[in-house]
Structure 1
Amino acid sequence: MKIQETSLPGVLIIEPSVFSDHRGLFMETYHSGRFAAHGLDVKFVQDNLSISGENVLRGLHYQITHVQAKLVQAVQGRIFDVAVDVRKGSPTFGQWTGAVLDDESHRQMFIPAGFAHGFCVLSKEARVCYKCDALYAPGDEGTLLWSDPDVGVEWPLSDPILSEKDQAGPRLKDIPPNRLPVYK
């Protein structure tokens, strides 16, 4: 596999080896030994699947104390995937990075614990699988406004379909410090 760093330390684009022939393709989406050899010694405990239509935007979500590292992949369709550093005390606090993930490139994004995560769908439909290294804790979730002008995510759509929760997310400057993960 190939690993590409992004503008935010720890957020990585992973290009797994893909083996294709007349029957289709095969790829390892995760291999603990290969990840550990690249310094990613993470043990995933939960897998999630999201199915969304075109122009749906999900996020930006994070866990406050039960932080989660994530490995995200679009197994069908095309998405723009985003990570925002919301870790209190981080030198890159409030900065974001994004990448297109799709079922043709098979690229994945690794998002370290303590980052807000979101994506928007660029195809008719997208199926997004992601692994988490901690279990989801409903009372521990935070939401950051997807369009916070101080963060300035450059989403490739202007009129997304949003949940009520995502429409009402606060700006980063309005989130109380005790509602943010801590940089370690």
Structure 2
Amino acid sequence: MNIHETTIPGVLRIELEVKANPDGWFKENFHRERLAALGLEVVQHNVAYFATPAIVRGIHAEPWDKYLSPSSGRVFVALADLRANDTFGRVETFELGTSDALFVPRGVGNSFCTVAAHTTYNFLVNELWSPERITVDLFDPELHIDWPYERARLSYTERDAGNPPLAELRTQLRV
């Protein structure tokens, strides 16, 4: 496991060792002690499967830390710092395959877009799920997210389409 800091404080990009074998590959995706050393005591593991590319979700900042990693396919991930601090609104993007993971602290908005068919995305979290979250518009021009597909091709939920702009959250947080 190789860990790299990013431009958003607390967000870590993690390279996982994937070992090829005659049947495919093997990776150690979860190791309690290693994740605990990052501050993540896992209490829930969620798995989402997406059959097609161009499915997008987010931007959501929940009240828990997350460890994200695909076990099949690829995803484009856009993170936005939504915490009331001097990096508020900072965005960083990544493309993750099976040998990649991200540690995302609470308060940092997470969004992703599938870029391969048959993508399985794992979310490990350190709090049980709750509906509480902060959201921001996926397509807010202030964020400058260069999605891998044109908006007309993307599939997203009505709920995500109605997220407020970053300026509204800035006003609420008085940043």
* TM-score normalised by the chain length of structure 2: 0.89
Contact 1:32–1:41 (Cα < 8 Å) also in 2: no
Cα drift, residue 118 of structure 1: 0.8
Q: How many percent identity over aligned positions? A: 30
Quick one: which amino acid aligns to residue 12 of structure 1?
L
**TM-superposed deviation, 1:142:** 2.7
Q: Does 1:29 align with 2:43?
A: no
Q: Give the CA deviation at 1:17.
A: 2.2
Please give the residue correspondences for 1:93-112 in structure 2 after superposition, counting only pairs within 5 Å: 93-103=88-98, 106-112=99-105
Q: Distance in 2 between matches of 1:19 and 1:76?
A: 14
Q: CA shift at 1:115, angstroms?
A: 0.8
RMSD after superposition: 1.9
Q: Report the Cα offset of residue 96 of structure 1.
A: 1.0
Please state how far the C-alpha of 1:33 moved relative to its aligned partner. Answer: 2.2
Count residues with an aligned counterpart.
171
- C-alpha offsets along residues 65-109 of structure 1, whole Å, 9 cap, x if unaligned? xx1111111111111012110012x12100111111113xx1111
Alignment correspondent of 1:162 = 156
What displacement does 1:125 show?
2.9
SS in 2 for 1:72: strand
- Alpha-carbon deviation of 1:48? 1.0
What is the aligned partner in structure 1 of residue 143 from structure 2? 151
Q: Give the alignment partner of residue 41 of structure 2, picking from 40, 43, 51.
A: 43
CA distance in 2, matches of 1:135, 1:172: 27
Q: 2-side partners of 1:149 and 1:87: how far apart?
A: 19
Q: Pick the aligned partner of 2:166 from 172, 175, 182.
A: 172
Deviations 1:24-46 (A, max 9, x none): 3322112232345xx51220111
Q: TM-score, normalised by structure 1?
A: 0.85
Amino acid corresponding to residue 96 of structure 2 in structure 1: L
2:159 corresponds to which letter in structure 1?
Answer: K
Q: Which residue does 1:75 correspond to in 2?
A: 71
2:53 alignment partner in structure 1: 54
Alpha-carbon distance in 2 for matches of 1:126, 1:23: 19
CA contact (8 A) 1:48 1:130 kept: yes
CA contact (8 A) 1:15 1:107 kept: yes
- The aligned amino acid for 1:70 is K
Structure 2: stretches of 5+ with no match in the other structure:
none
